[in-house]
Structure 1
Amino acid sequence: FFGIPICLTLLSFFVFRFLPLKHSNEQKPPRLFTAEELSLYNGTDSRLPILLGIMGSVFDVSKGNTHYAIGGGYNHFSGRDASRAFVSGNFKEEGLTDDLTGLTSSEVKSVLDWRDFYFRSYEYAGKLEGRYYDRYGNPTKFLKGAESKAARGAQLLEKQKIEEAKATSCNSKWSQEDGSEVWCDEGYPRLVQRPHEIAITGKASKRCICIKDDELGRPGLEVYNGCEPHETKCRL
């Protein structure tokens, strides 16, 4: 009979010493902030951490307090979700918003890239109730829509990269004395529309490629102003 308590004691010691308690591995659900609560963590109170939101995800950026505290270059991001300003560069009050309406797919992708940067570089603190997460912390249609748009932008960028790799880009240089100059080691400089650029950025743009003799009849080629069709070097 005396051996039973001893065995139970040893068994208890083994369980609590070597087997982790179940609740020790359970992660607490992320905290859900309101906009008013998040605004308290803007660096004005040294007793509180500095938090910022992007796409509804909240991060503790206290370790970068030289940048995010009052007087820091990024303090305008602290205590709020200013997702749009990460790509717009508008740091006035009206620009410090989480509304991404009207941004192109590549711009939305850039915002998500910034969000990924904060996930890699700073401590995740929770979610912000509002545009991107509802009162229960569930993703809203706005978050899903933004992520889908960013994915579309990434696909278009990759497709454009593959298509542009098929043509040799012109060499180029600029100097204060001579201005800009483009040239081809083989072929002739021609301007062409960048494929998918309007869908990606909302604007049309052109690039310089080198065209060989047997390709000169290809549609969509534009000779630089002031440059002869068979010149290999053009000053702009």
Structure 2
Amino acid sequence: MSAKVSPSPPLYTTFLVYCALQVAFVSFLFSYYDIEVGPIIQPVVKWVIEKAEEIPLVKRTFELLRTLVIGDEVNEENTKTLKKSTPKQKEATVEVHPLDADLSYLPVFSSEQLSFFDGSRPSKDVCLALLGRVYNVQKGHKHYAPGGGYHFFAGRDATRAFVTGDFTEAGLIDDVSGLSHQDILGIQEWSNFYEKEYKLVGLLQGTYYDAEGHLTERMREVIGLIEDAKLWKAAQTKEAEVFPPCNSEWHKDSGGRVWCTTKSGGIHREWAGVPRKLFNPGTKTSRCACVKNFGPPLSNYADVDEEGTRGDLDNPNLREYPGCSPTSNSCKLQED
């Protein structure tokens, strides 16, 4: 009687390990890519893996594979979560230097040195000065280089021309003497613009800064002019609320006309008022103002009747329009 021949243990184990590894690898691929193995294949795969895990070497291999696959998934998920939770970096804020700031740590240019940065030399960036502060405007090269619309500002301090529009050599200067409050405020606006848009790289020795980079007395005076202009602007705003500008029109055939509404001058209010000439004693100029003509006054002047019923009609700086009814809200302008 012949004995039943069985595979030797080493051969059986080697074969089972090989099959288990192949099945495990395919199984993990299916799992990783979310592929369904089906009702027939799945039990076979499960049986092979269970039998193979009885072998220590195969069990350790499975554990290693699980660690690698699951670990990659966890790392990928953590990366996605981190990307979602990490806030976007905000753009660096531009430092705006007040006009009275100590900037003596910056390099000081002479007028001759600054002239080399007028955009005519390819090896040098384009720079300009405003109120003695030197800005690198290279990023706006097409505007400030030769042929650009603002080239006349490059390589110099032409502060005055920013508000006068005089781009002749006589007008391209840094002196702001005699400018109006409105022009002074305009220069401050330009200064704020360059502070925010361009890099401050130095100071210009001369009117506004000395050789050590310290403020000159003239710079302090200009800072005072700016503060005065701000007060003037606030007063103008207040005056416009009390005496809103009139609407106006002019036609070749019918001439000019001024009139008042509850929205004239862009000032929204509950009353329309009547047109009057409002004189400025300081400048000896006048403009058309809509004047409240009932109830207590809004303006403050000498001998004002705060409990009056004529509004601001008695303000001494007001004049009626010739040939116009005092109670009309529209006046035709008479020829001088």
TM-score, normalised by the number of residues in structure 2? 0.55
CA distance in 2, matches of 1:167, 1:102: 27
**Secondary structure in 2 matching 1:94:** coil
Q: Does structure 2 conserve the Cα–Cα contact (< 8 Å) formed by 1:180 and 1:235?
A: yes
Q: Deviations for 1:121-158, whole angstroms, at most 9, x for unmatched residues? A: 11111111111111111111011110111111111211
Structure 2 residue 321 is the aligned partner of structure 1 residue 235? no
Distance change (3 Å), C-alpha of 1:204 and 1:133? same
Which of residues 183, 190, 196 in structure 1 aligns to 2:276? 190
Equivalent position amino acid for 1:190 in 2: R
**Secondary structure in 2 matching 1:118:** helix
CA distance in 1, matches of 2:196, 2:256: 40
**Secondary structure in 2 matching 1:47:** coil
Equivalent position amino acid for 2:277 in 1: L
Which structure features the higher share of strand residues?
Answer: 1
Structure 2 residue 290 is the aligned partner of structure 1 residue 209? yes
Q: Does structure 1 conserve the Cα–Cα contact (< 8 Å) formed by 2:246 and 2:289?
A: yes
CA distance in 2, matches of 1:169, 1:131: 39
Structure 2 residue 157 is the aligned partner of structure 1 residue 55? no
Structure 2 residue 191 is the aligned partner of structure 1 residue 115? yes
CA distance in 1, matches of 2:224, 2:316: 34
Q: Which residue of 2 aligns with 1:147?
A: 223
CA distance in 1, matches of 2:277, 2:286: 10
CA distance in 1, matches of 2:323, 2:148: 49
CA distance in 1, matches of 2:192, 2:162: 13
Which of residues 143, 148, 165 in structure 2 aligns to 1:72? 148
CA distance in 1, matches of 2:147, 2:253: 41
Which of structures 1 and 2 has the larger relative contact order (alpha carbons within 8 angstroms, sep 6+)? 1
Q: Does structure 2 conserve the Cα–Cα contact (< 8 Å) formed by 1:227 and 1:235?
A: yes
**Secondary structure in 1 matching 2:142:** helix
CA distance in 2, matches of 1:194, 1:165: 16
Q: Which residue of 2 aligns with 1:21?
A: none
Report the CA distance between 1:180 and its aligned residue: 4.0
CA distance in 1, matches of 2:315, 2:205: 54
TM-score, normalised by the number of residues in structure 1? 0.77
Q: Which residue of 2 aligns with 1:95?
A: 171
Q: Deviations for 1:71-109, whole angstroms, at most 9, x for unmatched residues? A: 111111000001111122111101111112222344233
Q: Which residue of 1 aligns with 2:315?
A: 218
Report the CA distance between 1:233 and its aligned residue: 1.3
Distance change (3 Å), C-alpha of 1:107 and 1:124? same
Deviates more, 1:60-69 or 1:184-193: 184-193
Report the CA distance between 1:162 and its aligned residue: 1.6
Report the CA distance between 1:204 and its aligned residue: 3.0
CA distance in 2, matches of 1:29, 1:83: 23
Q: Does structure 2 conserve the Cα–Cα contact (< 8 Å) formed by 1:55 and 1:112?
A: no
Unpaired stretches in structure 1, ≥5 consecutive residues: 1-27
> Number of residue pairs matched?
205
Distance change (3 Å), C-alpha of 1:73 and 1:32? same
Q: Which residue of 2 aligns with 1:42?
A: 118
Structure 2 residue 235 is the aligned partner of structure 1 residue 159? yes
Equivalent position amino acid for 1:29 in 2: Y
Distance change (3 Å), C-alpha of 1:168 and 1:80? closer
RMSD: 2.5
Q: Does structure 1 conserve the Cα–Cα contact (< 8 Å) formed by 2:277 and 2:286?
A: no
Report the CA distance between 1:63 and its aligned residue: 1.3
Between the aligned residues of both structures, percent identity stands at: 36
Distance change (3 Å), C-alpha of 1:106 and 1:34? same
The structure having more radius of gyration, on CA atoms, is 2
